[in-house]
Structure 1
Amino acid sequence: MLKGLGGLGDMAKMMKTAQEMQGKMAQLQEDLAAMTVTGESGAGLVKATATAKGELTGLDIDPSIFHPDEKEVAEDLILAAIKDAQAKATERSQQEMQNLTESLGLPADMKLPF
């Protein structure tokens, strides 16, 4: 490509690859913000929806869990659903990052962003 300039040709290729990776990372961040996951507890009595970035966006609670003498149970179910949604968001985000690194020809266990 740039014959006679030593490693400059490789440097130009590396810079182009870095710019491509940066663009794909930006797109992935947008995609993760648009993807949703749903965590649940109590056999679906409480459902929490979050983006793949982990931002809680919704909560669906079956009214049958609200009994004044079982307040702690309702709180535990809500907390469990939120934690489940956050765990699924983390898993989805890691899966998407791994897909990106593999598509760029990088090792699957490489952690992005650096």
Structure 2
Amino acid sequence: MKARLPQGYGPKNMNQMIKQAQEMQERIAQVQDEIEESEFKVSAGGGMIEVTINGKKELTALEIKPEVVDPDDIEMLQDLIMAAVNEAVRKVEDEASSRMAEVTGGAAGLPGMPF
């Protein structure tokens, strides 16, 4: 008895699947480049601290309002900076996840996917 594959399977369908996978890889690379070139600005402490981070999660700018600098309370300043930087990193990651989900149709997190 011979096993038969359902109609639509075979070399032609496999070539189409490979082409689609290659197109998806190209689109993923394009989106990653776009994200890396983007800048994300976040503030903390009611705008007293403002950080700008790029899509590579590198801090590119830090602005501290003079009125938030209290020599007797350095811990508060440190906390505000950490909060702003962490929020900026989350913003980059959320944007990357969202954009990749659009490209992959929600296949993010599968083995072999670059995100």
TM-score normalised according to structure 1 size: 0.81
CA RMSD of aligned residues (A): 1.6
Q: How does 1:19-98 map to 2 (within 5 A)?
A: 19-98=22-101
Specify the alignment match of 1:8 in structure 2: 11
Structure 2: distance between partners of 1:93 and 1:55: 15
Task: Tell me which amino acid in the other structure corresponds to 2:108.
Answer: K
Q: Which runs of 5+ in 2 are unaligned?
A: 1-8
Which structure shows the higher helix fraction? 1
Identity %: 33
Specify the alignment match of 2:108 in structure 1: 111
* Partner secondary structure for residue 31 of structure 2: helix
TM-score normalised according to structure 2 size: 0.80
Instruction: Report Cα offsets for 1:63-90 as digits up to 9, x if no partner.
Output: 2211211111111111111011111111
Q: CA deviation at 1:54?
A: 2.5
Give the structure with higher Rg (CA).
2
| Over 4 Å off, 4+ runs | none
Instruction: Report Cα offsets for 1:46-103 as digits up to 9, x if no partner.
Output: 011112342322211112211211111111111111011111111111111112123x
